[in-house]
Amino acid sequence: MTATMDRTAQGTGVAGRLSDILSPLVGGELPVRLTAWDGSTAGPEDAPKVTLYSPNVLRRLLWNPGELGAAQAYVLGELDVEGDLGDALTHVWKVSAERGLGSITPTPSLVLAAVKAARSFGIFGRPLAPPSSQAQVKGRLHSLARDREAIGHHYDLSNDFYQLILDENMAYSSGYWTSDAPEYTLEDSQTDKLDLVCRKVGLDRARGLRFLDVGCGWGSLSLHAAREYGARVVGITISAEQKAFVDAKIRELGLEDWVEIRLQDYREIPDGPFDAVASIEMGEHVGEDNYPTYVKALHDNVIAGGRVLIQQMSRTGAHPGGGPFIESFIAPDMYMRPVGRTVAMIEEGGLEVRDVHALREHYVRTVDAWIETFESNWDRVVDLVGVEVARVWRLYLVGGGMAFRDGRMGVDQILSVRPHGDGRSDMESVRPQWVSRR
Give tens-digit pLDDT for 3-27: 344 444 455 799 999 998 888 888 8
Half-sphere exposure of 130 (CA within 13 A, CB side): 14
- Residues 435, 176: Cα–Cα separation, whole Å: 12
**What's the CA gap between 185 and 166, in Å, rounded?**
12
Average pLDDT score over residue span 87-113: 79
3-class secondary-structure state, position 93: helix
What's residue 332's pLDDT? 86
Q: Across residues 272-286, what is the average pLDDT?
A: 96
Q: Is 302 helix (H, G, I), strand (E, B) or coil?
A: strand
298 Cβ contact partners less than 8 Å away, ≥ 6 residues apart: 214, 266, 277, 279, 308, 310, 349, 351
What is the secondary structure of 172-241 as a DSSP string? Answer: -S--------TT--HHHHHHHHHHHHHHHTT--TTTT-EEEEES-TTSHHHHHHHHHH--EEEEEES-HH
Mean pLDDT of the chain: 90
Task: Please write the tens of the pLDDT for every residue from 359-397.
Answer: 999 999 999 999 999 999 999 999 999 999 999 999 999
pLDDT exceeds 70 at position 198:
yes
More confident residue, 107 or 45: 45
pLDDT exceeds cutoff 90 at 268: yes
The neighbouring-strand residues paired with 277 are 212, 308
Q: Average pLDDT, stretch 82-105?
A: 85
Question: How far is residue 314's CA from residue 319's CA, in Å, rounded to a whole number?
Answer: 11
The percentage of the chain sitting over the pLDDT mark of 90, rounded to a whole number, equals 71
Cα–Cα distance between 155 and 1 in angstroms, integer? 55
CA angle 74, 79, 81 (to 5 degrees): 90
For residues 262-282, average pLDDT: 96
Region 335-359 average pLDDT = 97
The pLDDT of residue 151 is above 50: yes
Give the model confidence (pLDDT) of 406-429 as tens digits.
999 999 999 999 998 755 555 454
Q: Which of 10, 18, 97 is nearest to 50 (CA)?
A: 18
Q: Provide the greatest CA pair distance for the chain.
A: 80
